[in-house]
Amino acid sequence: MEFLPETINGLPLHPLVVHAAVVLIPLSGALALLMVVLPRFSIRFGPLVVVLAWGAVGAALVAKETGEILSELVNKTPRVHTESGDVMPYFALAQAVLILLLWLADRRGRRGILGMLVALVTVVVVVATA
C-alpha cells in the first residue's frame, strides 16, 4: 500500500495502527461473546460490534503494511513480530465475518450453531493476539 504515509505528525504510523488493532481485535471479540450470550445485546448493539470488528481488520491490514515499510528502514525486526503481523489480518477477518453473520442471524431469529462458532473463533483470536 504505497499510498500510506510513513508518519503522522512526525510519529511513525505503524505503532499508532498497531495500538488500534491491539485494542479493537480483543474488544470486538469480547463484545462478540456478549452477542453470543445475550441475543438482545446482539440485536441492539450488533451494528456497532460489526463496525468495530471491521475496523480491527482495517487496522490489522494497515499495521501489517506499515510494519513492512518500517522494517525496511529499521532492519532489526524480530521474526516472531513479523510473523504475527502477517497472520493477524486473517484472524481479524475471520472474526469480523462471523460477527457479521451472527448479527444477521440474530436479526432473523435463526442462530443455530453460529453462536458456538463465533465463541470458538473469538477465543482462538484472543489467544493468538495475546
Measuring CA to CA, how many Å separate 106 from each of 3, 24, 114?
Answer: 38, 22, 10
pLDDT above 80 for 17:
yes
Provide the mean pLDDT of the chain.
84
Entry pTM = 0.79
Whose cell is 518500517? That residue is 70
pLDDT attached to residue 77: 61
Helix/strand/coil for 77:
coil
More confident residue, 53 or 2: 53
Q: What is the pLDDT of residues 62-111, one digit of tens each?
A: 998 888 777 776 666 666 666 777 788 888 998 899 889 888 888 888 77
pLDDT attached to residue 121: 84
Measuring CA to CA, how many Å separate 69 from each of 20, 77, 92, 101?
Answer: 18, 11, 21, 34
Domain ranges of the chain: 11-108
